[in-house]
Amino acid sequence: MLTLYSYSTLFGVADNNGYGLKVFAFLKLAAVPFVHEHIFDASKAPRGQLPYIVDGNDTVGDSGTIIDYVTRKYCVTMDAQLTPAQRTTNLLVTRMLDDLYWVMSYSRWKDERYWQQFRDALLREHPGLTVEGLAKAKEFNAQRYYYQGIGRFDPDAAMARGLADLAAIDALVPPHGFVHGPAPSSIDAAIYGFIANIYFYDIDTPLKRFVVARDNIVRHCNAIHTAVSG
């Protein structure tokens, strides 16, 4: 059986990283059977990044590549009826979510207004973690942010970038149904992966304040969350 390796749970979501939760939601919506293994050490993962899957003799990393692989191998038809314009929208939204990822991560590991609350939540939910280990992870992430670029922003400027991304999502998500119609598609799983990690995040960041005030985003997030839970 296919096994998904991804980061840990937090605040009631199946993965506290947007990419892993995106793949989790896609597999659930596609009704593809899988085992979910939560890990912290990504050293054995393809490219040293989570999530990744092991499916028989195949090991596949990168959330988008995983979804393409699963779609082909398991004949998933979730996106089969999308038009070229809708597929283009999906690509653009996926790239925007890549930008939002960095702001979300920054808000947890670098923004000193929220870092201690995030650290303490991880320690409460995962007693095997240590203060020293998380401090090392914080230092490692600070280097990533600097070289990616978001680490050169002050906290308010970084949050403003994420708020602009969320405003675009708010404009895209309809008041009823899903992004491309009455049934969810892969882009709904992708949006959920990131929005759920803001909406259910029990720390009052500017990102969360924006999301909880947007009815369309909240409805969409809850709809996917209900569909993939249990």
- One domain, residues 137 and 222: yes
CB-CB contact of 7 with 16 (8 Å): yes
Domain termination residue (choose one: 73, 108, 127): 73
Domain termination residue (choose one: 73, 102, 122): 73
Domain termination residue (choose one: 38, 53, 73): 73
Confidence (pLDDT) at 41: 85
- One domain, residues 68 and 95: no
- One domain, residues 67 and 110: no
**pLDDT tens, residue by residue, 30-50:** 999 999 999 988 888 888 899
CATH number of the domain bearing residue 23: 3.40.30.10
Give the count of alpha carbons within 13 A of 92, CB side only: 10
Q: Is the pTM of this model over 0.85?
A: yes
- One domain, residues 50 and 103: no
- One domain, residues 32 and 89: no
Number of domains in the chain: 2
- One domain, residues 217 and 105: yes
In a domain, 79, yes or no: no
CB-CB contact of 13 with 21 (8 Å): yes
The Cα-based distances of 45 to 129, 132, 228 in angstroms read 20, 23, 25
The rounded distance, in Å, linking the Cα atoms of 64 and 87 is 13
Q: Where are the alpha helices (DSSP H) in 30-176?
A: 63-73, 84-109, 115-125, 131-148, 155-172
- One domain, residues 7 and 106: no
In a domain, 200, yes or no: yes
Start-to-end Cα distance in the chain? 19
In a domain, 43, yes or no: yes
**pLDDT tens, residue by residue, 134-146:** 999 999 999 999 9
DSSP code for 6: E
Per the structure, the complete domain to which residue 7 belongs is given by: 2-73
Q: Which residues of 112-149 are buried (b: 16+ CB within 10 A; e: fewer)?
A: eebbeebbebbeeeeeebeeeebeeeeeebeeebeeee
In a domain, 78, yes or no: no
- One domain, residues 97 and 170: yes
- One domain, residues 144 and 197: yes
Which residues in the chain come in under a pLDDT of 50?
none
Confidence (pLDDT) at 45: 87
